[in-house]
Amino acid sequence: MTDEEFMRRAIEIAARALDDPGCRPYGGVVVKDGRIVGEGINRSVIDLDPTSHGETEAIRDACRTLGTTNLTGCTLYASCEPCPLCVAAMMIAGIDRMYYAVSLEESDAILAAIPGGDCNAVDVQSLRDQTAKPVAKRTMPSDQILSGEGEDVLRRWSRAA
């Protein structure tokens, strides 16, 4: 299959949201060695899971299919440009390359046209800005507590590994 055919599959998956209440029109496909090993659609609403984006679902599916959390050698095709959450998941999993169909700007323009609709759109620019800052400089208040107890668990785990 070609890159365009894999992308068409991601777009087909996204189109399921037109008939599936609780899904959103964001699809992803993970490919390794020329074959699809993972597919996903945004199930945030139906699963009550804000991390259930098409890309993360495709990554989860690929990991189960391949029996590993290391997706080195894989390419991800996304119907829309992935948000920082999805990019982080791709990087953690080791995805080598990513293709997308609709840019964030194009997606934002389309979603902005929904009259009075709460599509719970993610402010991607704010996510990018906030995640790039050290924890103490983010707008979300945070405090470090019980550091020693947390470190103890990590030390015990590392000795057992």
Q: Give the count of beta carbons closer than 10 Å to the beta carbon of residue 37.
A: 18
User: Tokens 């080195």 sit at which residue?
Assistant: 72
Q: What size, in residues, is the chain?
A: 161
Q: Give the count of beta carbons closer than 10 Å to the beta carbon of residue 11.
A: 18
55 is catalytic: yes
SS (H, E, C) 18-50: HCCCCCEEEEEEEEECCEEEEEEEECHHHHCCC
* Catalytic position from the list 4, 12, 39, 55: 55
| CA pair distance 71, 97, nearest whole angstrom | 11
Name the residues annotated as catalytic. Answer: 55
